[in-house]
Each structure stands twice: as structure tokens, then as C-alpha cells.
Amino acid sequence: MLLTGSEKLVPVVATQRSVRELIIFLDLVLGMVFFMQTGAGLLGNFFLLFHFTFTLLTGKRLRPIDSIFFHLALANSIVLISKGGPQTMVGLGLTIFLDRIRCKLISFLHQVAHNLSVSLTCFLCGFQIITISPFSFSMWPELKTHTSKYIFPLCLFFWILHLMINIFMFVNMNSFTEHSNNTKIWNMGFCLEYASTSFKILQFIIMYSIPDFLCVGFMIMASGFLVLLLQRHHRQVQHIHSSSLLSRKSPEIRATCTILVLVSIYVSFYSVNSILSFYLFQFDKYDQWWIPISAFLAACYPAFSPFVLISSDSQILYFFCSLWGKNRS
């Protein structure tokens, strides 16, 4: 029995419809994943910002390391808003809803906040090394004192530094694209990014990745040094105290363990995302699935880090429990 032309088209049309429905469903799932990641991350970071602001307004004294945590939470919040927010809207069905200017502004804010988050995590490692290192040469106590005094100015310096660097790079890349005869378009989902066809992966690595590589290298070396200090401290305490006292960790040791967890989370997600980003830029694989995966990986550290800080810091955890108890009563 021979099939007519219309009868042959029915299975094809049904298959195309089912594929479209599957893509819509997967986009919705992706949007919900970004919504939960962004919402949870912002909730944790806003809680930290509220905790430190409330502590200052009530006249209580912040610890030196709290200033770094405050700026880290602020930078991570900007990363989540600029990365997770647009991707959530794309998953819910809104595509190309930002014009060229807003697209560049979102990319600029994300890059500044990302660089700042990396720098502050490096600063945490360096500050903790200075705090717990047993070095005894004459300038070391003075260095510890000055480091605690100048934490806030150093954090402001990081803000200004990364703003200036990214403004310089933004202006130069924009000028380079406008003076190019041939441009290529990258569909980011929520907007379109334009770049010159002569833009190479090597230029991307030089402009954006080398600072991150240096920071990651420093974090890995600093983490290794902190682990050695913790092992040395544990052996010394083992000879002095009984086993019942070994489980009691000093604030410095708890802070060191927290920083090691933060570094491990960042380096893990950064390594995977770097490989994926290199693949995207090298082979121009800017499709609707790779970009959200890269965005999800980039937002994991800002989303997870506040909960690491809340769960490992006794002061922050006590403040959280007191608020939770008041709300329930």
C-alpha cells in the first residue's frame, strides 16, 4: 500500500514537534536550576552582608578577616546577579532581551566582580598565612599588625584596580571591533556579543586568563603551605595536650580550614570551566547548551562560598541561629 505525500509528512511533523517540546522542557529545567542556584547564592551572600552591616551598626567590632568576607560576599552577589539572572530569564523563555549596550554592561560587571572575587580569595590565603605563620624574625609581628590595619583600604584598592583594568580592556576591545571590517556574532542567549573575526584564542588567554591562572597558582601554593602549617601545629599540640583537647580548634585553625575549603571549591570549578571556555572560544561552539553549562560552573563558587562561611564560623552561625529562633517564636 503506497503512502501519499501528506501521510509521509505526518511522522516528520510529529517528530519535530516532540523535539521542540523536549527543548522547551529542558530550557525550563535549566531556568529552574539557575533560579535555585542564583536565589540560594544571593540569599547566603545577602545574609553575610546583613550580618556584617548589623554588627557595625550596633557598635560591635568586626574581626580583620570580616572585612575580606564582606567584600567577597558583595563581589559574589554581583557575579550571581550578572551571570545567573540573565540565564534564568533565558531558561524561562526570554531570549535576546538585552540590547548591545546593556549586554556589554552586564559582561563588564560580571568580569569586574569575578576578578575581584578571585583576588579576595587570594588575599584571604595570604592574610591567613601571615596570621598563623610561626616565623620569628623581627619584622613579622609588625607585618601582622599593619596587615590587619590596612585590610579595608586594600579591599578598596582591589575594587579600583579591577575597575580600571576592565575599563581599559573594554574600551580597547570595543575600539578593535568597531574598526574591524568583519565581525562574528556569539549568541549568549540573553544578548548578542560581537567580536572581530581576527580575534584569536591567544588574545583571550592573554587578556582574561593569565591573571586568573596566576591567582589559582598562588592559591594552590598557599593552600599547600597552610596544610603543612596545620600538620605541624597538630603534631605540636599532640605532644602537649590530651586527646580530649585535640578536637577543640582555635579560631585561627577553623579560619584556615574554611579558606582551604573555599580554595578547593574555586579551583575545582575553575579548572573545569576553563577547559570548557577554551573549547568554546577555540572552536566557536557557542550553542544553546554549552554557554549555560559554562555559566553554571562560573556561578558555583559564588553560590557555595557563603554557606561554607556560615557553617564554619561560630559567630556567623550563632547570629543565624538567633535570627531563626526569633522568626520561629
Residue 148 lies in a domain: yes
Sign of CA dihedral 213, 303, 109, 62: negative
**pLDDT for the residue numbered 252:** 67
Long-range contacts of 316-321 (CB under 8 A, 24+ apart): 316/48, 316/51, 319/51, 319/54, 320/47, 320/51
Residue 286 lies in a domain: yes
How far is CA 58 from each of CA 37, 71, 204, 320, 326, rounded to the nearest angstrom? 32, 19, 46, 16, 18
| Separation CA 259–CA 118 (nearest Å) | 13
What is the residue range of 55's domain? 20-307
Residue 5 lies in a domain: no
Q: Which residue has the higher pLDDT, 241 or 250?
A: 250
**pLDDT for the residue numbered 71:** 93
Residue 14 Cα to chain centre, angstroms: 42
Residue 240 lies in a domain: yes
**Count of domains forming the chain:** 1
| Separation CA 21–CA 127 (nearest Å) | 52
Residue 70 lies in a domain: yes
- Helices 210-240 and 251-283 pack at an angle, to 10 degrees, of 150
pLDDT band at 103 (very low <50, low <70, confident <90, very high): confident
3-class DSSP assignment, residue 187:
strand
3-class DSSP assignment, residue 185:
strand
pLDDT band at 12 (very low <50, low <70, confident <90, very high): low
pLDDT band at 231 (very low <50, low <70, confident <90, very high): confident
Residue 327 lies in a domain: no
Residue 324 lies in a domain: no
What average pLDDT does the structure give for the chain?
77
Q: Which residue has the higher pLDDT, 286 or 322?
A: 322
CATH code for the domain of 189:
1.20.1070.10
Over the stretch 156-178, which tens digit does the pLDDT of each residue have?
999 999 999 888 877 777 665 65
| Separation CA 55–CA 198 (nearest Å) | 52
Contact 174, 108 (CB under 8 A): no
Contact 259, 132 (CB under 8 A): no
Residue 133 lies in a domain: yes
**Contacts of residue 112, Cβ cutoff 8 Å, sequence gap at least 6:** 78, 162, 163, 166
| Separation CA 290–CA 308 (nearest Å) | 28
| Separation CA 192–CA 183 (nearest Å) | 12
What angle is formed at CA 34 by the lines to CA 28 and CA 36, rounded to 5 degrees? 105
